[in-house]
Amino acid sequence: MHKLELVILFSLSLLLSFSCKKKEVFSKIEILGHGGNGLEIVNALYHDNSYNSIELALLTDGCDGVELDVRLSLDGTLWLYHDNELDDGTNGEGCIGSSSDAYLSTLHYSTMAKESLIRLNDIPKNYLENKKVYIDGRSSISCADSTADLSVYLARVLEFQDACAPSTEVIVETRNDQWEDAFALAGFITIKYITAFDQYDDVALNLPSVDIIVVTNDVISKENISQIHADGREVIIFGMRSAKSTREAYRKGPDGILADNLRTAIIEKY
């Protein structure tokens, strides 16, 4: 029995010693919760882009903001939803762009918690003070094979921005060139998503107004990021789920990350 006690004590001290080592510091990197508290991770308590997920992220110490997938409904309201079609993750059918507000208000995600779909304006503005709101402007309406009305979308985003506190920074990324130009004209900083670093040469040559490059972690290196920084641009990277990939991403020195696992990303930073 004494031997057994010693073994238990030894194991516990070993566990403690493993867990108390000083880590690297990545204090300048901003953490934006992808879809709120994270995207498609097994241990997320709430579905991405749901009210609880966003609120939980914004109130968590260490979170600098949230990335939200924003789509325009048939009635011209901005709703939060990641996928193209509603039957991919909710009890509904069709697309956000082909659905009325009344119909969307009845829908919920197909999860244990059955979170409701929410509008961009449902997020309390006081939670957004001193935070960054990264709007992923989703233009396509795949069900109707069409695109959302740019002028209405832009007007709604501007209304949202006006309703936020001055300390809230709203940035918009869209993968539609026409929308990109319109948002730039409206005074938003320009964000360009690239799928491989080869595409950056084109941005550097032809799109001098681009301020931020968004790219997945697995296609960019530390040297690539240094090159983008040297051109006076910022880099936001995403696509990290594990602690290891998050640490690797931090070591590359981006300006921000879209954290799929927010808790892991915050622990890794501090």
Partner 1 sequence: MIAYLQSQDQVLTVRKRSVAKNIRASLCIARNAQSYRLSAFSILIFLFFLTTSNAQSVEVSAGFNRLDYQVGAGYSHRWGALFLTSKMEVAVTSTFAQKRFAPRLSVGASYLLLKKGQFEFGPELVYAYSRQRLTNNHKTAHHWNELNIGYRLQVGDKFKFVHSLNGGWINESFYTNSGNERVNYNNLGVYAQVGVSYTF
* Least distance from partner 1 to the Cβ atom of residue 267, Å: 5
Cα distance between residue 225 and residue 141, in whole Å: 33
Which element (helix H / strand E) includes 105?
Answer: none
CB atoms within 10 A of CB 40: 14
Q: Which residue in 3, 59, 198, 201 binds partner 1 (CB under 8 A)?
A: 59
Is residue 172 within 8 Å of 181, Cβ to Cβ? Answer: no
Q: Does 267 bind partner 1 (CB under 8 A)?
A: yes
Q: Which residue in 2, 3, 112, 145 binds partner 1 (CB under 8 A)?
A: 112
Q: Which residue in 8, 144, 165, 186 binds partner 1 (CB under 8 A)?
A: 8
Cα distance between residue 256 and residue 119, in whole Å: 25
By CB atoms closer than 10 A (0-12, 13-18, 19+), residue 80 is buried
Q: Does 186 bind partner 1 (CB under 8 A)?
A: no
Segment contacting partner 1 (CB under 8 A): 66-74, 227-235, 249-257, 259-267? 259-267
Segment contacting partner 1 (CB under 8 A): 19-27, 140-148, 154-162, 194-202? 19-27
Cα distance between residue 81 and residue 68, in whole Å: 8
Q: Does 268 bind partner 1 (CB under 8 A)?
A: yes
The length of the chain in residues reads: 270
Instruction: Give, as ranges, the residues between 218 and 247 that touch partner 1 (CB under 8 A).
Output: 242-244
Q: Which residue in 34, 47, 119, 263 binds partner 1 (CB under 8 A)?
A: 263
Q: Does 124 bind partner 1 (CB under 8 A)?
A: no
